[in-house]
Structures are given as structure tokens and as C-alpha cells.
Amino acid sequence: MIAASVAAIAEEQSAIVGFSVDSENSSTTRLHMVVQVRDKTHLSHVLRHLARIPGVQQVWRRTTEQDDVPKASPDEPRMKKLNSEDLYAESRTGSGA
């Protein structure tokens, strides 16, 4: 699931600026990604692409701030005009890859 998620985000011409994996048990893996998006339309395309990955049960956008997730540097010219969005993808396949 990790490789497919990274590929889906790249195909949508987005960048991952924060990433973590949490395996709650042997059957659930949760990915937390902070991605760069241009606008809400771009965000919805990224979410839909992630939701179509085989094995992904749920994809959602986080709506509250989290301090321990790295944010894009404001000095990066390519990212300056984009917004950071916290996204979660959850798989219940038992596979972390």
C-alpha cells in the first residue's frame, strides 16, 4: 500500500512533505501523509486516486492541525503557492506494502 500510495500522489503531481505509518494490529495499517496540493479540486483528485488503490478501505483529510507532522519549508519555491493537507489512508489487508 505504501508504494501504491506514493505512486498515486506522484501521478497527481503532488508532493509528500510528511509521512508516517501506524500498524494498529496485524490486519490494519494506517498511513498518515502530508501532501502539497494546489487547491480543493486538486485535493479531491488526490483523495479519489488514493481511494482506488486495491486494499485501501478508507481515505480522509484531517481537519485539525498536528504539530509533530513536518511541514513544507516556506523557502521552497516550487511549494510556496501550494497548501499542505493531512491525508490518511487505511488498509485492512494486513499488508503494509
The domains located in the chain, with CATH, are 2-91 (3.30.70)
How far is 21 from 62, CA to CA, in rounded Å? 15
| pTM of the predicted structure, to 2 decimals | 0.66
Locate all alpha helices (DSSP H) within the chain, ordered by sequence.
2-11, 40-51
**pLDDT (mean) for 17-37:** 83
Output 10 or 75, whichever has higher pLDDT: 10
Q: What is the structure's pLDDT at 67?
A: 42
CB-count burial class (<10 Å; 0-12, 13-18, 19+) for 55: middle
